[in-house]
A = this chain, B = another copy of it.
């Protein structure tokens, strides 16, 4: 019987590639997304489309009102999404987001009896986000093994972050090899309701560069493109 894995999917390029990797490794995949007050809700549609395309066992969307605690341009409508980030920790950083998402994934893994959680964090493009670094993932895994029934009963819970040291171009090449349809994914920080991208935010810029680096035609649907 295939081992179960919980895979965090945002509908974006990175997490869709991670799902393809988990599939390729033979896991029975359960995908988890969050309705957390993000501006770009079309990513939830993309997460469902990608989950269906990759024939996951189940896709769940957990509602979580992170906008209540504020602090990020991605959930707080009083903060404008900048076209270019300055140095340091970006304003698009959602406080403790990966920790919150991984924690809920941990809870679902416990319910399912899964010992594996996949997450698409990346330390190359998101060097300004503290919760995208290898040390952080290792510390979360250690905590998780103390937090849960599985850990207490001796099962080892593993947090897989297969993209953590890959460039965007490497991620895209691997995803294409595994059959990911990137035209269905949404990365833009301010995507329109139909999933079209602004083309100018940091996330769009990184994505564009990735397709260039990978030497692959960019299938992204941009706003106002003719």
Q: Which residues of A approach B to under 8 Å, CB–CB? A: 60-66, 68-71, 89, 93-100, 102-104, 106-108, 110-111, 130-131, 133, 135-136, 139-140, 142-144, 146-149, 151-152
- From the candidates B63, B70, B148, name the one contacting A95 in the complex (CB within 8 A): B148
A149 adjacent to B136 (CB under 8 Å): no
Count this chain's copies in the assembly: 2
CB of A111, distance to nearest CB on chain B (Å): 4
B152 adjacent to A111 (CB under 8 Å): no
Instruction: Decide yes or no: A151 and B130 within 8 Å by CB, A71-B110, A100-B104 being known contacts.
Output: yes
CB of A102, distance to nearest CB on chain B (Å): 8
- CA distance in complex: A70, B60 (Å): 11
- From the candidates B60, B70, B130, name the one contacting A69 in the complex (CB within 8 A): B60
A147 adjacent to B143 (CB under 8 Å): no
CB of A159, distance to nearest CB on chain B (Å): 11
